[in-house]
Amino acid sequence: MRWFWIDKFKSFERGRCATAVKAVSICEEHMQGYFPGYPVMTPTFVIEGFAQMGGILISETREFRQNLVLAKVSRSKIHRYARPGELMSYAVNLVSLQEDGGLVEATSHIDGELHVEADLTFAQVSRDVIDRKFFEPVGLLQMLRVYGLYDVGVDENGDPLKIPEYLLEAEKTATGAYF
Amino acid sequence: MPTEQEVFEKIRAALVDALGVDDDEVTPDATLVGDLGAESIDFLDIVFRLEKAFNIEIPRAELFPEDILTNAEYVQDGKVTDEGVSELKKRMPFADLSKFEANPLVQEFGNLLTVNDMVRYVCSKVEA
């Protein structure tokens, strides 16, 4: 199973920005190990949540057809720890979108207080380097639906995002194999 | 059109954010790799920031001429040939290649680019 590091998108504007939330639960396995006896949300997993949001923000502009990787965390500051029972509100802004990648600025707030901030650089991996897709379409679409991307996402005109046809086709084919 | 000082200030801000260095470390003579500690992936970050800051497009081969440095026609025994240096000069008129020319080891090329070279490069793109 793929790791999910946000619970749900709250807003998503194509090629511009996105917000999401993640609730901190003591049930998450990693909570027990970071500081034994003092459970906190591991800050690197907060940054992984930013990376998932930023990756989706960039990839969505290209219908998720390119292989994109988190290349670098340029800058990050952990201002406090998130404790069980708290709700983290993530915001990601696309600073630069280029043919070979992009740059995003991300923040997490808890009750209005700055929790984590980071800049993330993404790079597109050439098909000459890795000749396969990082995400198989059915699993990708499932993840996007779990995150609620198509519930809240809008395109550059403010219209609801549409699921790319090739993802729907892949899903239909996979479902047809079972039913 | 921004002045050279304004270009320098924006480049300094980009390098501070991208490389986590202090303002005063970013001097005109500082080399990106040797003095500021830039690694290959940092150049992508820097380029994204400069393209955004100046609203310009930076073809990757202009700043990082890997195609020349990996071409057997221009490299022999780990050194860039005279023809190769000549190609580099054509590709990078903004860079001072005089030191590199004296001992043109490919492995030293990465340590060539200075902040001032970046300023000259960006000025040439902004003016174009």
Q: Give residue limits of the domains in chain B.
A: 4-127
Q: Which fold has domain B4-127?
A: 1.10.1200
Residues A118-170 have pLDDT tens digits of 999 999 987 666 667 777 899 999 999 999 999 999 999 999 999 999 999 99
Q: Mapping DSSP to helix (H, G, I), strand (E, B) and coil, where does residue B62 land? A: helix
Characterize A150-178 residue by residue with b for buried, 16 or more Cβ atoms within 10 angstroms of its Cβ, and e for exposed.
eebbeeeeeeebebbeebeebbeeeeeee
- Cα–Cα distance between A92 and A19 in angstroms, integer? 6
Nearest CA to A97 out of A51, A54, A141, A49 is that of A54
Query: Given the structure tokens 């219209």, which residue do they identify?
Result: A159
Residues of chain A with pLDDT > 70, as a percent, come to: 94
Q: Mapping DSSP to helix (H, G, I), strand (E, B) and coil, where does residue A160 land? A: strand
Distance, in angstroms, between B21 CA and closest chain A CA?
11
Q: Which fold has domain A8-178?
A: Thiol Ester Dehydrase; Chain A (3.10.129)
- Cα–Cα distance between B31 and A49 in angstroms, integer? 34
Q: With beta carbons under 8 A apart, name residues in chain B contacting A72.
A: 41-42, 44-45
Inter-chain Cβ pairs, chain A and chain B, closer than 8 A: 39
**Predicted pLDDT at A130:** 67
Residues B23-76 have pLDDT tens digits of 999 999 999 988 999 988 898 899 999 999 999 988 877 887 888 888 889 999
Q: With beta carbons under 8 A apart, name residues in chain B contacting A98.
A: 47-48, 51
Average the pLDDT over each of A9-13, A88-92, A129-133, A159-163 and give the range with the smallest value. A129-133
Residues in chain B whose beta carbon is closer than 8 A to a beta carbon of chain A?
17-18, 20, 41-42, 44-45, 47-49, 51-52, 60
Residue B57, classified by CB atoms within 10 Å of its CB into exposed (0-12), middle (13-18) or buried (19+), is exposed
> Domain residue spans in chain A?
8-178
Q: Mapping DSSP to helix (H, G, I), strand (E, B) and coil, where does residue A166 land? A: helix
Q: Answer whether B49's CB lies under 8 Å from A98's CB.
A: no
Evaluate if residue A1 carries a pLDDT over 50. no
